[in-house]
Amino acid sequence: MNPQLKALRMLRPPEMSRKKRHPEHVNHERWLVSYADFITLLFAFFVVMFASSQADKGKQKQVSDSVKHALDDNKIMAAISGILGGTVDDKGKGNAQMRGPGGAQKVAVVPTDKEVELVPAIQHLNKELEAEIKAGKMEVQMTPRGLVVSMRQAAFFPSGDDTIEPTANASIKKVADTIRGLPNQIRLEGHTDARPVRAGRFRSNWELSAARAITMMEMLTTEFDIGKDRVAIGGYADTVPVAPNDTEEGRSLNRRVDIVILNMRGLMKEPESKPSAAPAPTKKH
């Protein structure tokens, strides 16, 4: 080696003999890559969900249209009624009896809410009792307890008495024919206006309302073959008015006997006054 070059190497400082290294750079933005991947996946998820919802809307519309078509044709109501015990047909008969190899057998009635089942019944009664409803003798309505047929006292009972007018038998028969085709329990409820009983064989409106309900029960069970195990009676006097008692029109509406075809809610609930009905006046001493 050249002596001069060797001398120069010996004179160079030690730090100059090694290659200078730069410190390693720390990347503080690597989290952006993971964040971007997450946002991309989230966007893709919502795109898939949106596309699925659009497809489901089409299916839902098809199902909705099918159900509406079936309801318009009354097919679903008829099927449900057939399963739960049947409804009346054109001859006033139902299909609550099932025939098999062992002969006639009763269909076991499963405790269930029969509100849907009563829809064909109210339609049938509105048609059969059209004349009585227009004349103001009867009213048919669906309530949370079930189907209620209200019979006005003036058309069915003499004033202050519990004897049913003979002219009312035909109307009661129409209701009985409908009841016979249903498995529901029946409740007969007598109601009066707020005026106290002043004469006759009844001491109070409680006795009069209960007696009228009992008379209706006896007619349904003896003359129209409604099972006694299906019927209950109640007398409410003037405690459940449907109209104010301060007018003659209101009092005439309150004097009634209600035939209630109960659903499951009705079996557990007493009747309620309408909010518009005024409280019964108290007797002054």
pLDDT of residue 28: 65
Report yes or no: 225 and 181 within 8 Å, Cβ to Cβ: no
Q: What digits encode the pLDDT tens for the residues 127-143?
A: 999 999 999 999 999 99
pTM given for the model = 0.56
Q: 207, 180, 178: which is closest to 192 by C-alpha?
A: 207
How far is 44 from 47, CA to CA, in rounded Å? 5
pLDDT of residue 234: 94
pLDDT of residue 267: 72
Report yes or no: 243 and 254 within 8 Å, Cβ to Cβ: yes
pLDDT of residue 86: 44
pLDDT of residue 238: 94
The fourth-level CATH superfamily of domain 110-268 is: OmpA-like domain (3.30.1330.60)
Q: Provide the total of helices (H) and of strands (E) in the chain, helices listed first.
A: 9, 7
pLDDT of residue 230: 93
Domains of the chain, residue spans:
110-268
Which pLDDT tens digits describe the chain residue by residue (285 residues)?
A: 566 556 556 655 555 555 556 566 666 667 777 778 888 888 888 877 777 665 555 555 665 565 555 545 544 444 444 444 444 444 444 444 333 333 333 333 344 444 457 889 999 999 999 999 999 999 999 998 999 999 999 999 988 889 999 999 999 999 999 999 999 999 999 999 999 988 778 999 999 999 999 999 999 999 999 999 999 999 999 999 999 999 999 999 999 999 999 987 777 665 666 665 555 555 444
pLDDT of residue 204: 93
pLDDT of residue 66: 58
Q: 91, 132, 120: which is closest to 184 by C-alpha?
A: 120
Report yes or no: 77 and 119 within 8 Å, Cβ to Cβ: yes
How crowded is residue 207: how many other Cβ atoms within 10 Å of its Cβ? Answer: 18
DSSP state, 8?
Answer: H
How far is 162 from 249, CA to CA, in rounded Å? 21
pLDDT of residue 142: 93
pLDDT of residue 105: 39
Report yes or no: 256 and 155 within 8 Å, Cβ to Cβ: no
Burial bucket for residue 107 (CB in 10 Å: 0-12, 13-18, 19+): middle
pLDDT of residue 39: 84
pLDDT of residue 117: 74
How far is 90 from 266, CA to CA, in rounded Å? 28
99 DSSP β-pair partners? 104
How far is 156 from 169, CA to CA, in rounded Å? 9
How far is 219 from 226, CA to CA, in rounded Å? 9
What backbone phi and psi angles, to 5 degrees, belong to 78? Answer: -65, -40
Q: 198, 270, 188: which is closest to 226 by C-alpha?
A: 188
Strands annotated E in the chain: 97-100, 103-106, 138-143, 146-152, 186-191, 231-235, 256-262
- Residue type at 144? P
Q: 258, 124, 100: which is closest to 189 by C-alpha?
A: 258
Q: 56, 45, 96: which is closest to 230 by C-alpha?
A: 96
Name the packing angle between helices 169-180 and 118-128 (round to 10°): 160
